[in-house]
């Protein structure tokens, strides 16, 4: 008996087929008893009995042959049609909203007039793909930090490594690295950050090598959305949620549909294969509404290297974005990692023909309290004493 695959849809809401009320092994019609001495009728009866026996073995007793179904009168349906009539819809054109939670990602997306959107598209399922060690996880932790600083509740799905080492292993685990980065981004101490924000985020550990499954992920994901009211979720990474890597696109599509119904913004990290494409191939880009992709470009000539502010044969990291819900930059952007925390930022060295939107190069102000200024009265008294 095949095992039913876990789904974001409740079983109670799934339309059920109308089952035949004829018990298995019973004929659909009651035939008159055969008369003695009528071999033709006995033959018909025997054939009917054999047909019913075969139908009972195949679980199709009491049903019409498939070839005859189109010619039978339609039965009354028990399931209502899911048809949308546009005249009943009140809302029309909507301007895409933004979540300003990352200094680099937020500058890749545009309004319809060509100006900066001001953040990543809100209410979407966003894929971030790229090679290892390019900064995807650290950028996810930075988004998590900035979302918390804006008063949002956040869930972080950890599928690739342990978030917290229960034993004193001496390893700089993911929780430790997050607190270090969060302290640097927020400008407060670890103790101050934990005191203010620990209650506003949760971790969903979902590592398949510890026995976790896709069904476990769905259960925990629905809990944080429907019970805890969380609207921003980071998943690192979707590849590890399905160890077979055969259902990556299908799983992402189910996740996206659920997020739409609940108003969730989800950022999904994914690895790329040796071909340069993510797990799931081009279909992963088509399934996600918004995609951010990291890659490296080799400088094949001195002319190309000069254009990008590099040297011949250098491998330079770049980022590109595509979106179905808003505009995006039509060219790749060269990026760099800051030396202290490895945070991703746009590299000032870009080709001269690339025209960036206004305010693209504006530095983001740190979320810190401004320095206290001296009172004007004290300054005035100081000047007077100096003159005397």
Q: What is the pLDDT of residue 82?
A: 85
Whether pLDDT at 135 is above 60: yes
- Whether the upstream peptide bond of residue 237 has omega within 30° of 0, thus cis, is yes
* C-alpha distances in Å from residue 344, one per residue of 130, 190, 204: 13, 22, 25
pLDDT of residue 97: 97
Model pTM? 0.75
Name 288's Cβ contacts closer than 8 Å, sequence gap at least 6.
125, 126, 127, 252, 256, 268
When computed from its CA atoms, the radius of gyration of the chain, rounded to whole angstroms, is 31
On the question of pLDDT at 54 being above 90, the answer is no
Distance CA 98, CA 123 (A): 9
Q: Which of 2-16, 181-195, 241-255, 354-368 has the lowest mean pLDDT?
A: 2-16
Spatial distance between the Cα atoms of 121 and 255, rounded to a whole number of angstroms = 17
Q: Which of 31, 104, 155 is closest to 338 using CA atoms?
A: 104
Q: Is the predicted pLDDT of residue 136 greater than 80, yes or no?
A: yes
pLDDT band, residue 209 (cuts 50/70/90): confident
What DSSP element (H or E) covers 250? helix 248-262
pLDDT at 132 over 50: yes
Place of tokens 């039509």: 330
For 62-115, the pLDDT digits (tens) are: 555 554 455 455 666 677 788 999 999 999 999 999 999 999 999 999 999 999
At what angle are helices 136-149 and 174-186 packed, to 10 degrees?
Answer: 50
Distance CA 318, CA 294 (A): 6
Would you give the distance in Å from CA 365 to the centre of its chain? 29
The β-bridge relationship of strands 290-298 and 125-130 is parallel
pLDDT tens-digit series, residues 4-51: 567 777 655 444 444 545 455 555 555 555 555 555 566 666 666 766
- pLDDT band, very low/low/confident/very high, at 278 (cuts 50, 70, 90): confident
Distance CA 26, CA 294 (A): 64
More confident residue, 66 or 299: 299
Residue 59: per-residue pLDDT: 52
Q: Which residue has the tokens 């069904």?
A: 215
* Spacing of C-alpha 368 from chain mean position: 31
Termini Cα distance of the chain: 100
Q: 64-73, 195-204, 284-293, 340-349: lowest mean pLDDT where? A: 64-73
Asked if 252 and 125 count as a contact pair (C-beta separation under 8 A), the reply is yes
Res. 264: pLDDT tops 60: yes
Instruction: Name the fold adopted by 98-165+172-346.
Output: Rossmann fold (3.40.50)
* Model confidence at 382: pLDDT above 50: no
C-alpha to C-alpha distance for 223 and 206, rounded to whole angstroms: 14
Q: pLDDT tens digit string along 215-231?
A: 899 999 999 999 999 99
Residue 334 tokens read as 């060269």
Tokens 């005191």 correspond to 195
358-376 residue pLDDT tens:
999 987 654 444 333 344 4
């Amino acid at each position: 008996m095949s095992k039913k695959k876990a789904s974001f849809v409740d079983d109670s809401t799934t339309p059920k087929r109308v089952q035949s009320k004829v018990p298995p092994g019973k004929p659909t019609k009651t035939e008159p008893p055969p008369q003695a001495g009528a071999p033709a009728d006995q033959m018909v009866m025997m054939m009917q009995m054999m047909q019913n026996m075969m139908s009972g073995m195949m679980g199709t007793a009491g049903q019409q042959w498939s070839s005859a179904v189109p010619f039978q009168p339609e039965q009354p349906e028990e399931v209502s049609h899911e048809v949308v009539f546009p005249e009943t819809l009140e809302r029309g054109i909507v301007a895409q909203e933004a979540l300003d939670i990352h200094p680099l990602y937020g500058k890749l997306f545009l309004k319809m007039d060509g100006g900066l959107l001001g953040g990543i598209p809100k209410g979407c399922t966003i894929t971030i793909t790229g090679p290892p060690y390019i900064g995807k996880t650290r950028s996810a932790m930075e988004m998590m930090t900035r979302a918390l600083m804006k008063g949002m509740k956040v869930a972080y799905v950890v599928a690739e490594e342990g978030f917290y080492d229960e034993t004193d292993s001496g390893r700089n685990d993911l929780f430790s690295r997050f607190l270090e980065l969060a302290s640097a981004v927020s400008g407060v101490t670890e103790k101050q950050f934990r005191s203010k924000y620990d209650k506003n985020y949760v971790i969903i550990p979902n590592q398949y090598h510890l026995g976790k499954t896709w069904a476990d992920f769905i259960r925990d994901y629905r809990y944080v959305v429907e019970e805890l009211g969380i609207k921003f979720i980071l998943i690192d990474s979707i590849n590890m949620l399905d160890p077979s890597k055969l259902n990556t696109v299908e799983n992402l599509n189910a996740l996206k549909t659920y997020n739409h119904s609940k108003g969730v913004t989800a950022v999904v990290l994914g690895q790329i294969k040796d071909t340069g494409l993510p797990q799931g191939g081009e279909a992963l880009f088509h399934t996600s509404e918004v995609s951010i992709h990291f890659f490296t470009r080799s400088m094949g000539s001195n002319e190309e290297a000069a254009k990008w502010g590099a040297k011949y044969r250098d491998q330079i990291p770049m980022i590109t974005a595509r979106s179905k819900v808003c505009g995006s930059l039509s060219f790749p952007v060269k990026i760099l990692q800051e030396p202290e925390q490895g945070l991703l930022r746009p590299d000032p060295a870009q080709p001269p023909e690339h025209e960036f939107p206004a305010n693209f190069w504006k530095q983001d102000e740190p979320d810190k309290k401004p320095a206290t200024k001296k009172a004007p009265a004290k300054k005035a008294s100081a000047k007077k004493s100096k003159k005397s």
